[in-house]
Amino acid sequence: MDKLKKICKTNRQLIIFILLMSVFRSAVADWYTVPTGSMQPTIKEGDRIVVDKMAYDLRLPFTQISLLTTGEPERGEIVVFESQAATKRLIKRVIGLPGDTVGLNNEVLSINGKPLGYSLVTSDRRELIATENLNGLIHSIRIETGASDQLSSFDTLTVPEGHYLVMGDNRRNSADSRVYGFIPRDELKGKATRVAFSLDYEDYYLPREDRFFTDLYLN
Residue pLDDT, tens place only, 85-106: 999 999 999 999 999 999 999 9
DSSP 159: P
Which residues belong to the active site? 38, 92
**What mean pLDDT is predicted for residues 141-165?**
96
Determine the Cα–Cα distance for residues 146 and 126; give it in Å rounded to an integer.
6
- Dihedral angle of Cα 85, 90, 92, 96, to the nearest 10 degrees: 30
Determine the Cα–Cα distance for residues 219 and 212; give it in Å rounded to an integer.
17
Q: Is the pLDDT of residue 219 over 80?
A: no
**Which are the contacts of 7, defined by CB distance < 8 A and separation ≥ 6?**
none
CA atoms within 13 A on the CB side of 186: 6
Q: How confident is the model at residue 12 (pLDDT cuts 50, 70, 90)?
A: low
Q: What are φ and ψ of residue 168, in 5° steps?
A: -85, 155
C-beta pairs of 68-77 under 8 Å, 24+ apart in sequence: 73/97, 73/164, 73/188, 73/191, 75/111, 75/134, 75/135, 75/137, 76/134, 76/135, 76/136, 76/137, 76/139, 76/217, 77/191
- Dihedral angle of Cα 104, 108, 113, 119, to the nearest 10 degrees: 160
pLDDT at 61: 85
DSSP letter for each residue of 9-36: HHTHHHHHHHHHHHHHHHHTEEEEE--S
37-79 pLDDT, tens digit each: 999 999 999 999 999 999 999 998 878 888 899 999 999 999 9
pLDDT at 18: 58
